[in-house]
Structure 1
Amino acid sequence: MTTFKLGWYIMKERLTAGRMVVIWILLTILVLFASWGFTDSNLNLTSNYQIDSAYDVLFVSTAATIWGSTLGAVLISFDGVSRDRVSGVLEIKLSQPMQRKKFSISLLLGHWGAILVPFMTLNVLSILIIWYRIDELPTLYEFLIYFIASALLVFWWTAIQLLASSWAKDMGLSIALGLGVWITFILLWIIPTAVIAGFSGVGVENLSSPEYTKLQGMVDLFSPNGVYNHLMEIGIDHIDRGVSLIYISISSILWTLVPAILFIRRIERIHP
């Protein structure tokens, strides 16, 4: 069996899992409701951000969709390796006449596709909602930015979760690692930013100051969600956090390669 065929099989297996019902509901609420809400003409954002285009709606909607996509990747992938390892199935799979490198790539592609399919399907529907509500569509360039950034975000989290799952020897540790990493980057990332700001002499009493905004932009390069925000900001002319596109590109490449390579090497050396 080829790498892509096995990845396709894993994706179909995950798409039919019972947890997908929860993921579909979660994504539907966060993706579609966000698009509907942010197209309300009476909406006033506390950040004073002006929504003037379809892409602006997509951009502000990421505040909600980033929760759904990343949590969906966690729910799909947190036991991608540990479940088979606990049950003894992993030993059987690794004994098959297929290189471990190809097997690990299949795991990455299969789990990535399992969350990417519902996420992008609902994103297409959200664009149709935006079209219906404000009679405007994002340009092809804006859509490509949104699609590529969203696909990369889901891949990064899939690779991170599979890597964490490969180190867990029981389901409890697998869940703890998966949610722990998610909570760190989603809920607690402001803490290291504030600490670094304190050591750098940047005041944290005004989070919208140019100095803090630039520092936050640099720190965000070390977070998958932060890099995703940087990629989304490429399509908006009036947002500039002072971070070079070169740094954003390098960070995107590293987040794409490093977790995936570490996971592949982990599978090549794992003793089930």
Structure 2
Amino acid sequence: MTPSRRMWRLAFALGKQRMLSTRMLIMLPILLLFIPGMAWGFADPNIQLPADQLPTNGTEVMFLASIGIVFAGTMAAVLIAHDGISRDRVSGVLEVRLSQPMPRWRQGVVLMVGHWSSIALPVALLLLASMMLVGYRSGMWMPLSDALIYIVAAMLILLWYTVFALLASSIAREQGSAIAFSIGLWFLFTLLWVLFTTLLAALNGVAVGDTQDQGYLVFEGRLDLLSPNGVYHHLLETRLNGVDRGVSALGAYLAAVLWTIVPVYLFQRRLNRLVP
């Protein structure tokens, strides 16, 4: 067996193990509620929303429902991967694994792909189900190109949070610190980022009272490039008409590439220097 084939087999074996774990069974009802559940709700023809936020096509419905990925999907990724290294370090298994003839960069790929695939596959299936539900309930079907961008963007944000959790797990000495660090990052980007954006906008003299103010929207859009959730929404906005937050489609794609490369590089560098 070639080294590459062995690496991928180990990655998918780890993904299968994590996917069938008790932790995933606990997260599955939450994912069902937040992903297809929210898509079903926003597809209601009689939904009460502000006039400027009423969806007019399937892509806009799924954009509104993307909050399910931001909250439930990313939380699931963090909970799946937060002890990917710290648990083995405590039990002594990590020392045995790192002493194997497989290069550490390959072991890093196994950890990242294994944990990521365990949450990416269920979420991808739920997204496909959500698109079907939206089309069935509202009669508004997403174009294939929009659906592909939507799924790829979701897979990317899950990868980012998986790598964040693994990086935290490699730094922490015990599982408690690992989950505290991981949940802290999730809390910052998911719940505190709006407050952070508003504060910086006020300090820079940007009007924050009116969320429809173009100056505030541009400031918020550019600052969102520093947040994985913001980049995720920028990717989705490339498929929407009439959205201008000061970031071009090319800028959103480049930001997504950077958010993929930099955390992976930091995790691989940390793993190469790790002493059990």
TM range (shorter): over 0.9
Structure 2 counterparts to residues 94-109 of structure 1, below 5 A: 94-109=98-113
Q: Residue 159 of structure 1 aligns to a residue in which SS?
A: helix
Q: Residue 188 of structure 1 aligns to a residue in which SS?
A: helix
Residue 161 (structure 1) aligns with: 165
Cα deviations by residue, 1:198-226 (Å, 9 ceiling, x for unpaired) = 22110211122101100000010000000
Contact 2:43 2:138 in 1 (8 A): yes
Contact 2:55 2:61 in 1 (8 A): yes
Structure 2 counterparts to residues 105-184 of structure 1, below 5 A: 105-184=109-188
2:35 is equivalent to residue 13 of structure 1: no
2:234 & 2:48 partners in 1: Cα distance?
Answer: 23
Residue 36 (structure 2) aligns with: 32
Cα deviations by residue, 1:143-189 (Å, 9 ceiling, x for unpaired) = 11101111111111111111111101011101110110000000000
| TM-score normalised by structure 1 residue count | 0.97
Identity among equivalent positions (%) equals 38
Q: Residue 204 of structure 1 aligns to a residue in which SS?
A: coil
Residue 221 (structure 2) aligns with: 217
Of 200-209 and 262-271, more deviation after overlay is shown by 200-209
Question: Residue 47 and residue 170 in structure 1: after superposition, are their counterparts in 2 closer, same or farther (change >3 A)?
Answer: farther
1:229 & 1:40 partners in 2: Cα distance?
Answer: 22
- Pick aligned residue for 1:260 from 251, 258, 264: 264
Structure 2 counterparts to residues 41-56 of structure 1, below 5 A: 41-46=45-50, 48-56=52-60
- Pick aligned residue for 2:64 from 60, 67, 76: 60
2:69 & 2:51 partners in 1: Cα distance?
Answer: 18
Aligned pair count reads: 272
Question: Residue 189 and residue 157 in structure 1: after superposition, are their counterparts in 2 closer, same or farther (change >3 A)?
Answer: same
2:185 & 2:246 partners in 1: Cα distance?
Answer: 27
Of 196-205 and 229-238, more deviation after overlay is shown by 196-205
Q: Residue 53 of structure 2 aligns to a residue in which SS?
A: coil
Q: Residue 189 of structure 1 aligns to a residue in which SS?
A: helix
1:132 & 1:246 partners in 2: Cα distance?
Answer: 33
> Which letter does structure 2 place at the counterpart of 1:59?
F
- 1:13 Cα deviation from its structure 2 partner: 1.1
| TM-score normalised by structure 2 residue count | 0.95
1:6 & 1:83 partners in 2: Cα distance?
Answer: 18
1:172 & 1:156 partners in 2: Cα distance?
Answer: 21
1:247 & 1:235 partners in 2: Cα distance?
Answer: 14
Of 43-52 and 128-137, more deviation after overlay is shown by 43-52
Runs of 4+ in 1 over 4 A off after TM superposition: none
1:248 & 1:166 partners in 2: Cα distance?
Answer: 29
2:173 is equivalent to residue 207 of structure 1: no
> Which letter does structure 2 place at the counterpart of 1:69?
G
Provide structure 1 residue ranges, at least 5 long, that are not aligned to the other structure: none
> Which letter does structure 2 place at the counterpart of 1:16?
L
- 1:245 Cα deviation from its structure 2 partner: 2.5
Contact 2:189 2:227 in 1 (8 A): yes
Cα deviations by residue, 1:81-135 (Å, 9 ceiling, x for unpaired) = 1111111111111111100010001101001100001101111111111121022
